[in-house]
């Protein structure tokens, strides 16, 4: 990095590093594009690493004046966080499992204590009281993440499982950030590790019911999960059985145990259709059984279970149901042609309700649905399911308008459902919801005779914990509201607007607008301690629920993908216009924030409307999407065809993508202050994408605002590992925005 003197101020201004140009031309569908910086993809090239280190040095120099602000925000996050804390224990078989965090330590400690069984079912599923800093009687440590991470540049857990008898604990560790894990197995009776070690596996682990086998997933060279394998404990890994291999490069595969743990359920799919195969542990020699072939082009999830002693499959599917519905079928129907199968409707299709998923306990069906943008939980007794006597769905009630309620580790045997609850103003809560049973012929509740009803009522919400926020936090000091922006085509875009309650509506404040808008992922209401540092500096924080997400159901997603993807970007610009004209902010003091596919959004809107933003932070940004998706050998590229289209085979998709992908559309305009944040070992969005992007931005911009690349050399898609490093990363992003918006002082 070189420096130059500014004669006007006599201060030293760092000069950004300039990568050499090695032109490489790609040609598709008669169109040629010359890329001068594709050579930066050569990860092992010493010149590439030297260039990235120079970029980080430049970033450090440009943002040196933000160091105190970063430190202040980090301290605010740390001060508000109860560092010594415990999760609410969750019961599995004869044990209560939980994690605890200790002050000064970066990683969680996984623990368990024995569970008791009495004649009171709700009492048996009432978690033991665990308090921060107080020793827990009978506690046994399964895994201390801090000990595992010692001396390692990175540490992340990619899956864990305990055998049904409680004797074995398997866990997978990543020490590079590349999401390739090593699985180890500990004998919890002795504390010793077994000699079995599984290298280069992917997320997810599960034991067979007898504990003799460990199931796991393997990725191919493009990081696509394509194999499910079985390892028999005590045998050589080289002899592991491939239970299933998916050869279609556009399909992923994964697995989980069925809710009742009677089956291994394999899911194969893409964004538009899927296939489920399952293995019954009662009859493993029968092999995998297909529920619905992918040839039917149905997107579905399947849950095999016993209902009144009969094998059934619960289907959450989109057959003649764009927002999905739930059906029930007997396994004897599976061998018939689809048109001849008899499906019983459990939850009918509703244009206003998106069915996200369904599972079962031994007494209830548990549903996750979305209505009016809000994720909710509903339960239906299994008694009479799919018939004329089926009971109506029951939904726990909450007071806030904008909230999120989701399933949190529901257990098949439990008389309660574990719920997670949060909102923009309410820190995360954990509830147990006492499952309501149908009335008998006398009009009494089905479980009114047991001792649980003496203490707990059917349908009661039992608060187990609310995450503490230290430092005198009061929800009354803040406001979260639903607003709507009008898109240019007349579509109404939902916005979540969060601010301090005492903020004047005088048009002078700063604003940050955040967006994602891909993969049908919803940006649901959730509490964030770190966001308070922006709000307390007078910044209005807006989440734009743009098309491409899932907030308004499946059609909302469909309207922001493939040849409709530009709606995602124009929706965000229209949402920015709403904020600029809302009366809350100064239009010259708006910053934009987004990560991954939301980073693509940042790059696209920076090209579309650079004048509307004072600063942009693009986290692990997918800004060179066309280059990536044109090469199916690159990590995860082929899996993206169902989201963006396949530009290799479809000229219209190629043309459309080239019109919006950020890297190809940088132009000579005055770009705002931009930070591209990435990690060297990210396997989802490679570092090369933002590295190339910032080079072209600096070449083309007609403005004087700095454009920087912040790169974590020992991190993955989520950045550096450990909670303190995570806080530092968030403090860096927020300080960059607050500094650019002139909102550095607490109100």
pLDDT in tens, 363-403: 999 999 999 999 999 999 999 999 999 999 999 999 999 99
Whether 565 has a pLDDT exceeding 80, the answer reads: yes
Q: How far apart are CA 268 and CA 246, in angstroms?
A: 8
SS3 645: coil
Residue 145 CA to residue 721 CA, distance in Å, equals: 11
Identify the pLDDT of residue 379: 96
Cα 467 from Cα 87, distance rounded (Å)? 9
Residues 342 and 328: beta-carbon distance below 8 Å: no
Q: What tens digit of pLDDT does each residue of 537-549 get?
A: 999 999 999 999 9
Q: Does the annotation count 486 as an active-site position?
A: no
Beta strands 192-201; 225-232: pairing state: unpaired
Q: What is the pLDDT of residue 452?
A: 31
Return the pLDDT at 284: 92
Q: Is pLDDT of 13 > 90?
A: no
What integer pLDDT is reported at residue 155 of this predicted model? 84
What confidence category does residue 5 fall into, taking pLDDT thresholds of 50, 70 and 90? Answer: very low
Residue among 606, 633, 636 at smallest CA distance from 696: 606
pLDDT at 722: 62
- Buried b / exposed e over 514-549, threshold 16 CB at 10 Å, is bbbbbbbbbbbbbbbbbbbbbbbbbbbbbbbbbbbb
Beta pairing, strands 374-381 & 364-371 = antiparallel
pLDDT over threshold 90, residue 245 = yes
Whether 432 has a pLDDT exceeding 70, the answer reads yes
Distance separating alpha carbons of residues 442 and 428, to the nearest angstrom: 40
Instruction: Report how far residue 56's alpha carbon sits from residue 420's, in angstroms, rounded to the nearest whole number.
Output: 39
Query: Where does the pLDDT of residue 107 fall: very low under 50, low under 70, confident under 90, or very high at 90 and above?
Result: confident
**Segment among 120-134, 193-207, 717-731 with least mean pLDDT:** 717-731
Instruction: Give the confidence band of 221 by pLDDT, cuts at 50, 70, 90.
Output: confident
pLDDT surpasses 60 at 8: no
Q: Please give the residue that has the higher pLDDT: either 144 or 479.
A: 479
Mean local confidence (pLDDT), 37-61: 95
Band (457; pLDDT cuts 50, 70, 90): low
Residue 238 is predicted with a pLDDT of: 94
Transcribe 564-619 into DSSP letters: GTHHHHHHHHHHHHHHHTSSSEEEEEEEEEEETHHHHHHHHHHHH-GGG-SEEEEE
3-state secondary structure of 337: coil
- For residue 550, the 8-state DSSP code is S
Q: Quote the CA–CA distance of 485 and 605 in Å, as a whole number.
A: 16
596 is catalytic: yes
- DSSP 3-state of 72: helix
User: If pLDDT is split at 50, 70 and 90, which confidence band does 685 have?
Assistant: confident
Lowest mean pLDDT segment, chosen from 16-30, 267-281, 450-464, 698-712: 450-464
Please tell me the distance from the alpha carbon of residue 397 to that of residue 549, in angstroms, as a whole number.
25
Cα–Cα distances (Å) from 444 to 301, 365, 447, in that order, read 35, 21, 8
Share of the chain above pLDDT 90, in %: 79
Q: What is the mean pLDDT of residues 214-243?
A: 94
Arithmetic mean of pLDDT, 61-73: 97
CB atoms within 10 A of CB 443: 7
Rounded to a whole number of angstroms, the distance between the first and last alpha carbons of the chain is 38
Tell which phi-psi region holds residue 30, choosing left (phi > 0), alpha (psi between -120 and 50) or beta. left
CB burial of residue 7 (10 Å; 0-12, 13-18, 19+): exposed
Query: Does 682 or 433 have the greater pLDDT score?
Result: 433
Strand partners, 434: 416
Q: How far apart are CA 382 and CA 412, in angstroms?
A: 12
Backbone angles phi, psi at 235, to 5 degrees: -105, 160
Instruction: Quote the crossing angle between the two packed helices 67-80 and 723-740, to the nearest 10°.
Output: 130
pLDDT of residue 637: 74
- How far apart CA 463 and CA 265 sit, in angstroms, is 32
Q: Tell me how long the chain is.
A: 747
Distance CA 690, CA 678 (A): 7
Inter-residue contact 544 to 493 (CB < 8 Å): yes
* C-alpha dihedral sign at 733, 739, 745, 747: negative
Helix (H), strand (E) at residue 415: none
In whole angstroms, give the CA distance from residue 559 to residue 542. Answer: 22
Question: What are the structure tokens assigned to 16, written together?
Answer: 């950004």
How far is residue 225 CA from its own chain's centroid?
17
Q: Choosing from 717, 721, 733, 739, which is the catalytic residue?
A: 717
Mean pLDDT of 469-482: 96
Q: What is the pLDDT of residues 517-535, one digit of tens each?
A: 999 999 999 999 999 999 9
Structure confidence at residue 442 as a pLDDT band (50, 70, 90)? very low
Over 80: is that where the pLDDT of 713 sits?
Answer: no
Please state the separation of Cα 513 from the chain's center in Å: 19
Sign of CA dihedral 52, 55, 57, 59: negative
- The pairing of strands 300-307 and 310-317 is antiparallel
Q: What percent of the chain stands above pLDDT 70?
A: 94
Tokens of 306: 């016993």
Choosing from 524, 571, 624, 682, which is the catalytic residue?
682
Predicted confidence band of residue 362 (pLDDT cuts 50, 70, 90): very high
Cα-to-chain-centroid distance, residue 737: 23
**One of 267, 368, 596, 637 is an active-site residue; which one?**
596
Let me know: does 305 contact 337? Beta carbons within 8 Å. Answer: no
Residue 201 in this model has a pLDDT that exceeds 80: yes
Mean pLDDT of the chain: 91
Closest CA to 575 of 552, 547, 595, 603: 547
Question: Phi, psi (5° rounding) for residue 36?
Answer: -85, -10
Which residue stretches of 363-494 are H helix?
452-455
How far apart are alpha carbons 741 and 745 in whole angstroms? 11
Question: Which two three-digit tokens encode residue 149?
Answer: 């991470």
Lowest mean pLDDT among 164-173, 280-289, 655-664, 709-718: 709-718
Check residue 684 and give its pLDDT. 63
Rg (CA), the chain: 27
Q: Is 174 a catalytic residue?
A: no
Check residue 450 and give its pLDDT. Answer: 32
Which residues lie below 8 Å from residue 518, measured CB to CB, with a gap of 6+?
A: 548, 549, 560, 561, 568, 597, 598, 600, 601, 643
Q: Does pLDDT of 573 surpass 50?
A: yes
Encode burial over 52-78: b for 16+ CB neighbours within 10 A, e otherwise: bebbbebbebbbeebeebbebbbebbb
- Asked if pLDDT for residue 4 goes beyond 50, the answer is no
Q: Which tokens belong to 392?
A: 């109506």
Instruction: Sketch out the chain's domains with CATH numbers.
Output: 14-62+477-740 (3.40.50.1820), 152-245 (2.40.10), 270-357 (no CATH), 361-423+429-466 (no CATH)
Is residue 306 within 8 Å of residue 288, measured between CB atoms? no
| Highest mean pLDDT: which range of 119-133, 437-451, 709-723 | 119-133
Query: Is 58 a residue whose pLDDT tops 60?
Result: yes
Q: What pLDDT is recorded for position 350? A: 96
- The span from the CA of 153 to the CA of 624, in Å, is 28
Tokens of 133: 């800093």
């Amino acid at each position: 990095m070189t420096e130059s003197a500014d004669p006007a101020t006599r201060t030293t201004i760092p000069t950004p590093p300039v990568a050499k140009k090695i032109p490489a031309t790609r040609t598709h569908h008669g169109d040629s594009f010359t890329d001068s910086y594709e050579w930066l993809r050569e990860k092992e090239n010493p010149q590439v690493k030297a260039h990235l280190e120079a970029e980080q040095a430049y970033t450090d120099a440009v943002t040196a004046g933000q160091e105190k602000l970063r430190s202040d925000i980090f301290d605010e996050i740390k001060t508000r966080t109860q560092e010594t804390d415990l999760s609410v224990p969750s019961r599995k078989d004869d044990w209560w499992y939980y994690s605890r965090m200790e002050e000064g330590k970066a990683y969680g400690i996984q623990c368990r204590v024995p569970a008791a069984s009495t004649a009171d079912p709700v009492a048996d599923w009432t978690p033991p009281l665990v308090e921060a800093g107080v020793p827990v009687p009978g506690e046994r440590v399964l895994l201390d993440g801090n000990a595992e991470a010692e001396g390692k540049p990175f540490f992340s857990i990619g899956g864990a499982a305990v055998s049904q008898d409680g004797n074995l604990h398997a866990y997978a560790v990543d020490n590079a950030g590349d999401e390739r894990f090593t699985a180890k197995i500990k004998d919890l009776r002795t504390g010793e590790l077994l000699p079995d070690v599984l290298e280069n596996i992917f997320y997810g682990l599960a034991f067979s019911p007898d504990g003799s086998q460990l199931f796991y997933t393997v990725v191919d060279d493009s990081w696509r999960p394509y194999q499910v394998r079985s390892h028999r404990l005590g045998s050589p890994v080289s002899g592991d059985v491939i239970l299933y291999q998916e050869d279609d490069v556009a399909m992923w595969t994964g697995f989980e145990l069925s809710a009742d743990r009677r089956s291994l359920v394999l899911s194969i799919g893409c964004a538009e259709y899927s296939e489920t195969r399952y293995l019954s542990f009662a009859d493993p020699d029968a092999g995998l059984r297909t529920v619905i072939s992918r040839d039917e082009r149905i997107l579905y999830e399947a849950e095999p279970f016993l209902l009144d002693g009969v094998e059934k499959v619960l289907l959450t599917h989109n057959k003649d149901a764009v927002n999905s519905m739930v059906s029930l079928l007997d396994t004897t129907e599976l061998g018939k042609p689809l048109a001849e199968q008899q499906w019983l409707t459990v939850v009918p299709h509703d244009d206003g309700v998106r069915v996200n998923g369904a599972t079962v306990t031994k007494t209830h069906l548990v549903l996750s649905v979305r209505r009016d943008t809000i994720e909710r939980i509903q339960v239906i007794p299994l008694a009479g399911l799919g018939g004329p006597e089926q009971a109506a769905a029951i939904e726990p009630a909450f007071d806030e308008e904008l909230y999120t309620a989701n399933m949190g580790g529901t257990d098949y045997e439990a008389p309660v459902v574990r719920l997670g609850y949060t909102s923009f103003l309410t820190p995360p809560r954990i509830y147990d919801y006492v499952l309501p049973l149908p009335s008998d012929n006398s009009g009494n509740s089905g479980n009114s005779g047991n001792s649980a009803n003496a203490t707990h009522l059917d349908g009661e919400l039992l608060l187990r914990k609310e995450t503490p926020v230290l430092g005198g936090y009061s929800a009354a000091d803040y406001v979260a509201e639903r607003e709507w922006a009008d898109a240019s085509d007349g579509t109404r875009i939902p916005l979540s607007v969060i601010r301090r309650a005492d903020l004047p509506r005088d048009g002078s404040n700063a604003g940050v607008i955040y967006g994602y808008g891909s993969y049908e992922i919803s940006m649901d209401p959730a509490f964030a301690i770190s966001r308070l540092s922006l709000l307390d500096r007078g910044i209005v924080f807006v989440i734009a629920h743009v098309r491409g997400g899932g907030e308004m159901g499946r059609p909302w997603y469909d309207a922001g993908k493939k040849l409709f993807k530009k709606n995602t970007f124009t929706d965000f610009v229209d949402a920015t216009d709403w904020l600029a004209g809302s009366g809350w902010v100064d239009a010259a003091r708006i910053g934009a924030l987004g990560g991954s596919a939301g980073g693509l959004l940042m790059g696209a809107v920076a090209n579309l409307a650079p004048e509307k933003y004072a600063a942009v932070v693009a986290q692990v940004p997918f800004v060179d999407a066309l280059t990536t998706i044109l090469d199916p050998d690159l990590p995860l590229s082929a899996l993206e065809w169902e989201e963006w289209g396949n530009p290799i085979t479809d000229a219209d998709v190629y043309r459309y993508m080239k019109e919006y992908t950020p890297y190809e559309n940088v132009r000579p305009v005055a770009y705002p202050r931009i930070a591209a944040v990435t990690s060297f070992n990210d396997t989802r969005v490679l570092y090369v994408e933002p590295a190339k992007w910032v080079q072209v931005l600096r070449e083309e911009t007609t403005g004087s605002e700095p454009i920087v690349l912040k790169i974590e050399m020992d991190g993955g898609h989520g950045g550096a590992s450990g909670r303190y490093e995570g806080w530092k990363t968030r403090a860096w992003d927020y300080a960059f925005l607050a500094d650019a918006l002139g909102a550095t002082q607490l109100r």
